[in-house]
Amino acid sequence: MTSALPSVYPVIRYRDAPAAIEFLTRAFQLGRSEVHEGPDGTVLHAQLTWGTGVVMLGSDSEGGDGPFDTGKTVVYLAVDDPDEHHDHAVAEGAEIVMELVDQPYGSRDYAALDPEGNVWSFGTYRPGPLPS
């Protein structure tokens, strides 16, 4: 049986998850869906939306040695207008690590860092699931 829900959910851990959520929603325009905080203000679980997809995130575990505290990651998100998205991210202070480029495989992409050094890549390439 096939579900209409996405079947891949990136998970990212942050030292300062509340600041990451603020940045990702402001600079990269992800939607804020759910944020569950612990009594100390750490983010136990958050969901940010992007089109039909969801990125889950939370605070690093104490000591940063939990099974999901793996360090830096790269996330790719498809956009209809990468030039407009790039310009918005720049205006909001995002650090661009790869300027807009037309790829040989037909995509137009750029990449930027979030405040903790994760790479967020945005482009027009939209791979589909492989036939089963």
Which tens digits make up the pLDDT trace of 76-124? 999 999 999 999 999 999 999 999 999 999 999 999 999 999 999 999 9
> Is residue 24 situated within a structural domain?
yes
Domain coverage including residue 109: 11-62+70-123
CB 119 within 8 A of CB 110: no
Is there a domain that residue 85 lies in?
A: yes
Q: Is residue 1 part of a domain?
A: no
> What CATH number is associated with residue 94?
3.10.180.10
Does the structure show a pLDDT above 60 at 1?
no
Query: Considering its fold, how many domains does the chain have in total?
Result: 1
Contact (Cβ atoms closer than 8 angstroms) between residue 37 and residue 22: no
Q: Is 130 contained in some domain?
A: no
- 96-108: pLDDT as tens digits: 999 999 999 999 9
Q: How far, in whole angstroms, is CA 89 from its chain's centroid?
A: 13
Please tell me the pTM assigned to this model: 0.89
- Residue 119 located in a structural domain: yes
Helix or strand or coil: residue 93? coil
CB 103 within 8 A of CB 123: yes
| Contact in structure between 50 and 30 (CB atoms under 8 Å) | yes
The single-letter code of the amino acid at 28 is F
2 part of a folded domain: no
